[in-house]
Amino acid sequence: MGNALGSLDQLAIAVLYAVAAWLSQSAHEPVRRWACIAGLMAQPFWFYGAWQTRHWGVLALAVVFSVAWMRGLWLHWLAPRRQDGVATIQMVPGHKG
Each residue's pLDDT tens digit, 70-92? 999 999 999 988 766 665 566 66
Q: Look at the chain and report how many structural domains it folds into.
A: 1
Dist. CA 96–CA 91, nearest whole Å: 9
| Size of the chain in residues | 97
The reported pLDDT for the residue numbered 81 is 80
Residue 55 lies in a domain: yes
Residue 10 lies in a domain: yes
Q: What residues make up the domain containing 66?
A: 2-78
The reported pLDDT for the residue numbered 1 is 43
Dist. CA 31–CA 96, nearest whole Å: 43
From 75, 79, 68, 51, select the one nearest 17 (Cα to Cα): 68
Residue 9 lies in a domain: yes
Residue 48 in contact with residue 9, Cβ under 8 Å?
yes
Residue 59 lies in a domain: yes
Residue 92 lies in a domain: no
For 12-65, how does the pLDDT look when each residue is reduced to its tens digit (9 = 90+)? Answer: 999 999 999 999 999 999 999 999 999 999 999 999 999 999 999 999 999 999
Residue 94 lies in a domain: no
